[in-house]
């Protein structure tokens, strides 16, 4: 019996109009749809008038379920894999199924569409000729900092998926581990409250401290080489923050800020003196 085909189908990351004509057609034609969360996907499918047998395929059942799906493919059934949002396999389940299907000689056909990483990059205003997609950072601070330290010298734009409630902790770690950079927080892409918060890390840290950031977030970090003008801009703000905190001596504040911004200590010292004079005058 001829093998069936496995389709990897991208679905919207918010705005339902972003589904492609081809995705709708394939989802209508396949014998079975494997979805990360069948209840969630049923809503999407019914919006497009798609009524097909659904089965679940998610992180905690993928070892067993992958075998079941492979078996159906080998019996000639066509299967579409979808996830809750965006492109399967991109920080989402799917990779092992694709790997095993390929190894079993099953044709795998991608049906491209939205993905938050590309959507964020396309409008971030950061260099896009090369980038490093890192998915989610570790949730434990120690591991997260280790990872960031390893990425410090990366010459390409860094792209992370992040949860809104961990964003400020990640920004604080970025500042401490890799120093001031230009960043873009791309939030709620394609949805009603879509927003891009752009600026230096210090500036963005201040913005997100002042208001609660909700929803889904992609965090983009510019490479160190693109930073000199931004470092110069945000250095006074960073100085002010350390001086106001009053935890370090002036000498240590200058040392810290010079390290974080990559600017000469003499420049930072001159600015610190100017700020102090402003405060006392
Ligand atoms: N496979 C998906 C894709 O192709 O983008 C990603 C799935 S991953 C489990 C979910 C993460 O993607 C979220 O935590 C967030 O970082 C990012 N994300 C998904 N939709 C988003 C949106 N509409 N706006 C911003 N970020 C989004």
- Residue 231: the pLDDT is 64
Q: Is the CB of 182 under 6 A from ligand 1?
A: no
Tens digit of pLDDT per residue, the chain (281 long)?
799 999 999 999 999 999 999 999 999 999 999 999 999 999 999 999 999 999 999 999 999 999 999 999 999 999 999 999 999 999 999 999 999 999 999 999 999 999 999 999 999 999 999 999 999 999 999 999 999 999 999 999 999 999 999 999 999 999 999 999 999 999 999 999 999 999 999 999 999 999 889 999 999 999 987 655 556 777 888 888 888 888 888 998 888 887 777 677 888 898 888 888 887 76
Q: Is the CB of 13 under 6 A from ligand 1?
A: yes
Q: Indicate the domain borders of the chain.
A: 5-114, 117-221, 228-280
Q: Is the CB of 116 under 6 A from ligand 1?
A: yes
Which CATH entry fits the domain spanning 117-221: 3.40.50.720, 3.30.2130.10, 3.30.950.10, 3.10.28.10?
3.30.950.10
CATH class of the domain defined by 5-114: alpha beta
Q: Is the CB of 223 under 6 A from ligand 1?
A: no
Q: Is the CB of 86 under 6 A from ligand 1?
A: yes
Helix H or strand E encompassing 61: none
CA distances from 217 to 78, 164, 193 (A): 34, 6, 12
CA of 90, closest atom in ligand 1:
1
Number of Cβ within a 10 Å radius of residue 240: 18
Rounded to two decimals, the pTM is 0.83
CA dihedral 237, 141, 149, 206 (to 10 degrees): -10
What's the CA gap between 43 and 45, in Å, rounded? 5
CA distances from 72 to 2, 29, 59, 172 (A): 11, 16, 20, 48
Nearest residue (by CA) to ligand 1, atom 23, is 189
Is the sign of the CA dihedral 233, 234, 237, 243 positive or negative?
Answer: negative
Give 122 Cα–ligand 1 centroid separation in angstroms.
15
Give 163 Cα–ligand 1 centroid separation in angstroms.
9
Q: Is the CB of 137 under 6 A from ligand 1?
A: no
Q: Is the CB of 217 under 6 A from ligand 1?
A: yes
Nearest residue (by CA) to ligand 1, atom 19, is 116
- Residue 126: the pLDDT is 94
Nearest to 224 by CA among 182, 268, 161: 182
Residue 172 backbone zone (phi > 0: left; psi -120 to 50: alpha; other: beta): alpha
Give 69 Cα–ligand 1 centroid separation in angstroms.
25
Q: Is the CB of 216 under 6 A from ligand 1?
A: yes
CA of 117, closest atom in ligand 1:
5
Give 270 Cα–ligand 1 centroid separation in angstroms.
43
Diameter of the chain by CA atoms? 87
């Amino acid at each position: 019996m001829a093998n069936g085909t496995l389709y990897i189908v991208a679905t919207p990351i918010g705005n339902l109009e972003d589904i492609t004509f081809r995705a709708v057609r394939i989802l209508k034609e396949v014998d079975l749809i494997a979805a990360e969360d069948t209840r969630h996907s049923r809503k999407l499918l019914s919006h497009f008038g798609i009524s097909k047998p659904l089965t679940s395929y998610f992180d905690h059942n993928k070892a067993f379920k992958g075998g079941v799906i492979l078996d159906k493919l080998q019996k000639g059934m066509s299967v579409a894999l979808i996830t809750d949002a965006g492109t399967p396999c991109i920080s989402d389940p799917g990779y092992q199924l694709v790997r095993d299907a390929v190894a079993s000689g099953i044709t795998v056909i991608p049906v491209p569409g939205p993905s938050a990483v590309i959507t964020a990059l396309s409008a971030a205003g950061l260099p896009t000729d090369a980038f490093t997609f890192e998915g989610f950072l570790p949730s434990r601070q120690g591991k997260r900092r280790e990872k960031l330290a390893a990425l410090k010298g990366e010459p390409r734009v860094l792209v992370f998926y992040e949860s809104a409630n961990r964003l400020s902790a990640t920004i604080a770690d970025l500042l401490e581990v890799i120093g001031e950079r230009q960043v873009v927080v791309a939030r709620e892409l394609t949805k009603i409250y879509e927003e891009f918060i752009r600026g230096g890390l210090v500036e963005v840290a201040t913005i997100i401290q002042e208001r609660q950031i909700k929803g889904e977030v992609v965090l983009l970090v510019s490479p160190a080489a693109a930073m000199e003008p931004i470092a110069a801009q945000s250095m006074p703000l960073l100085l002010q923050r350390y001086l106001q905190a009053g935890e370090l001596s002036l000498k240590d504040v200058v040392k810290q800020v010079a390290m974080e911004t990559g600017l000469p200590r003499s420049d930072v010292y001159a600015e610190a003196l100017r700020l102090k004079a402003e405060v006392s005058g």
